Chains A and B, each alone.
Chain A
Amino acid sequence: MGERAEEAAGRERLLESVEKPARYLGTEWNAVRKDHREVDILFALAFPDAYEVGMSHLGSKILYHLLNRRGDTAGERVYAPWVDMEARLREEGRPLFALESWRPVREFDFLGFSLQYELNYTNILNMLDLAGIPLQASERGEGDPLVIAGGPCAFNAEPLAGFFDFMVLGEGEEVLDEILDLYARWKRQGRVGGRREFLHRVVEVPGVYVPSFYEVDYHPDGTVREVRARDGAPSRVKKRVLPDLEAVSYPVRPPVPFLDVIHDRIMVEVFRGCSRGCRFCHAGMVYRPVRERSPQAVVSLAGELVRGTGYDQISLASLASADYSAVTRVVRELNERFGPCGIGVSLPSLRMDSFSVDLAREAGRVRRAGLTFAPEAGSQRLRDVINKNLTEDEIMGAVDAAVEAGWDSVKLYFMVGLPTEGDEDLEGIARLVEAVSARGGRGGKRLSLSVSVSPFVPKAHTSFQWEAQDSVQVLEEKFRFLRRRLRIPGVNLSWHDPRMSLVEAVFSRGDRRLGRVLERAWRAGCRFDSWTEFWDFRRWEEAFRSEGLEPGFYANRARPRDEVFPWDHLDAGVDRDFLWEEREKAYRGETTPDCRWDACPGCGVCPELGVAIALRGEGQM
């Protein structure tokens, strides 16, 4: 057999030996397979979770499109190989490959990870290891790819600082091109000065964070004393933000997976950012300000996407699509245009009010989706504390509207362990669920309710970044209370593992020392930590113990106002003073209005980054 034939046979045998080979083909419709001899830059776009999760992620579709729009770049995808594939790769000694070319990712120029969730971090180390790339950035040689990262968790990826050559804060659309232009030039110059020189050049690009250019000093108690920038790096790295969504080309031909992935539908991003100001919400802070796409653009993108992908479901994507200022008109228009072809519309993440339910009904004319609401807290008082501007009347109005429109099941999300929470607030969850359940009794049929309860996880860059998370024991007690109280027919209660939330909390406000814990946990076998079938808390406990670090220090400790945070030099544009004031207001039970419809409460993003809210609902269609 020739070398090519042998390689092809090896590939087939590998695909034959895994449960879902379609994860690894790289031949999906719209996958871009370029001849590597015709490009200068190979960029492996990595998502540290299963294919089905990564292929559902809108941000990755956008970056894939922007990479491949460049004539000089081949952008290829790589996901965390499932455990059966991992075992085969290790057995064969075959390095991790990118899907489109099946070329080892270690031969690429860049390996760029999307950081969406702390419990994916062990997968990053596992993928680096499978790729045969040294874990530590400091140990990589000239032949290794630049390992970089972006995404919401980059705003505090300090626990990952040692593993990345650099990271990008904020929205990637523009900065990606700047980085690649710089890289192309450096490569043409014969890679003068090696990767170190490239880091010195790229650190000049706004939004780029080179962790090795910063030194961290700690107090004896383990808190940060100071983060010092060296090597000409900026003392604070400001996030990048795209002032006008329509200024950048949108992916209308994203790869269409063979497998049934989590969000297997068209996604049209109707706006970015959210200024409702929920005080626990990380996305609500780091993606400010709100920038909408015009209704005309939304409708025309939807049409192009239908032709480009063949999906029969259009989802209007954003952090809260019912807030889109043209939502009613757009939903109606999409239904009129595409409904007759059997193409439906859906709205993820609805507010809990009758307006949203009406919208969902209108959207569901072709194919009706389930209703999911997130009241988050059970009492009005606590909803005010977290600034979830939602009244009991609105909640009940939503339920009545849903029942009237014919829904017979609803999903409800709550959080427990929120700051200031007391017994009456937990009792409030129980009472609210009872009340909602009782509303459905009409017509003989009970409303069936799935109630999901998650522990509150304090996040960096939010008003609750100073707060303590409840201990696992306290959280479990609270859950037991709810379980006792919610033994109601038709109510199904589920619970997010508080130990998972503990590890998430540790890493979301962690410092660089945690890199060692992460590496140890991965070496002990942790991977796919967000998947209950692989989650193993004992390994994590063991890793913390071995490294002499206490999870409680990071998760369960309330911080004083002036503590230096590990992420203070990473600037999402929101004022730290504003966040503290919001925290104070939370404790007073005062709410803050949304700057889209009320006065600007001064979070700082707009003046700091030179951007503005963009509402475009009035536009023609």
Chain B
Amino acid sequence: MTRQVLRLRLEKSGDARFISHLDFMRTLTHAFVRAGLPVALTQGFHPHPRFSLALALPLGASSEAEYADVELERTVDAMHAARELNRVLPPGIRVRKVQEIPVGAPPLQSQVGAARWLLDLELAEKGTAASEAPPVGGAPAAGEGPGPGGGEVGEVLTRMLAQPHLPLVREKQGKVRTLDARPLIRSARVREDGGPSVRVEAVLAAGNPSLRAAEFARLVAETGGWELRHLRVHLLEVYADRDGELVDPARLGEEAWRDYHRNRKLGFEE
């Protein structure tokens, strides 16, 4: 029987945003077994399923663009596979699209260069209780009072994008490092201004190098001289980045087929 690779586009919403990246992987692996879909295994002493997620979503973020590349032992009808999976996925996790990818095509994980995020920023004027920026989906700090509105946040975004450099302090395993975040921000604009928070849409570098949504939010707050009281993050889409041109996964899949057929015509084996 011939193998098959499916690229699933999943939604992670509601309670499911509280499932960590690793736990989400495990949850999907279990669902494949429940759905009776035979995931191919790696060789070796500790075989594991041939399965990868395009991006590691931070805990607390929701997403409509969780891409999973999964290699199956045998060919199944892609739509049928999606339906069977949706029967056995816990609340908040749903397959929304499925695309077949040629076996051996590069996994999306290795191609991702940018991601489009929605960020709901709850900002406050500084001066009340000083507090650390919370993690994604973090709890609000104490303190009341109206924060900046969409107009002010929009101005700050414009100012940020006009800067040649945006120094960002990143701490990793106790080591503090300063990097330039400016080239990692592709675009950013205010989408909505409703209630206590301002909704920003931003395209940020993802994969390697990457700018985390929470880091971007911190930069916005710092630039505006505000305090970030609450942050809620949602992933809209991921892309490959070709010298600034954003290519979405659907097109990457089509290109993979084109390459596959061209190689076949030229007589190459996969």
Contacts and interface: CB of A to CB of B under 8 A. Distances in A.
B46 A367 contact: yes
Interface in A1-30: 13, 15-17, 20-22, 25, 27-29
A28 B90 contact: yes
B30 A311 contact: yes
B47 A307 contact: no
A312 B23 contact: no
Interface string A423-447: 0000000000000000000000000
Interface stretch (A253-261, A538-546, A598-606): A253-261
B92 interface: yes
B34 A308 contact: yes
A341 B33 CA distance: 9
18 contacts: A15-B15, A21-B59, A22-B19, A25-B15, A29-B34, A258-B90, A259-B23, A260-B26, A307-B36, A310-B32, A310-B33, A310-B34, A310-B88, A341-B33, A341-B38, A366-B47, A367-B47, A368-B45
Nearest to B18: A21
Contacts of A212: none
Contacts of B36: 307
B138 A27 contact: no
Interface of B: 15-16, 18-20, 22-24, 26-27, 29-34, 36, 38-39, 41, 45-47, 49, 59-60, 88-92, 137-140
Given A16-B139, A27-B92, A259-B23, A312 B18 contact: no
A15 B34 contact: no
A448 interface: no
B33 A312 contact: yes
A29 B41 contact: no
A17 B30 contact: no
Of A21, A309, A368, most B-chain CB atoms within 10 Å: A21
A306 interface: yes
Contact of A17 (B20, B31, B139): B139
Given A256-B30, A307-B36, A311-B30, 5 more contacts: A16-B60, A25-B19, A307-B33, A310-B33, A367-B47
Nearest to B47: A342
B23 A342 contact: no
A77 to B, nearest CB: 15
Nearest to B16: A27
Interface in A338-375: 341-343, 366-368
B12 to A, nearest CB: 12
Contacts of A29: 27, 30-31, 34, 88-90
Contacts of B138: 16-17
A383 to B, nearest CB: 34
Contacts of A367: 46-47
Nearest to A264: B26
A368 B45 CA distance: 8
Contact of B23 (A15, A27, A260, A307): A260
Contacts of A311: 30, 33
A290 B19 CA distance: 41
Contacts of B15: 15, 25, 27
A306 B30 CA distance: 9
B191 to A, nearest CB: 21
Contacts of B20: 20, 22
A309 B30 contact: yes
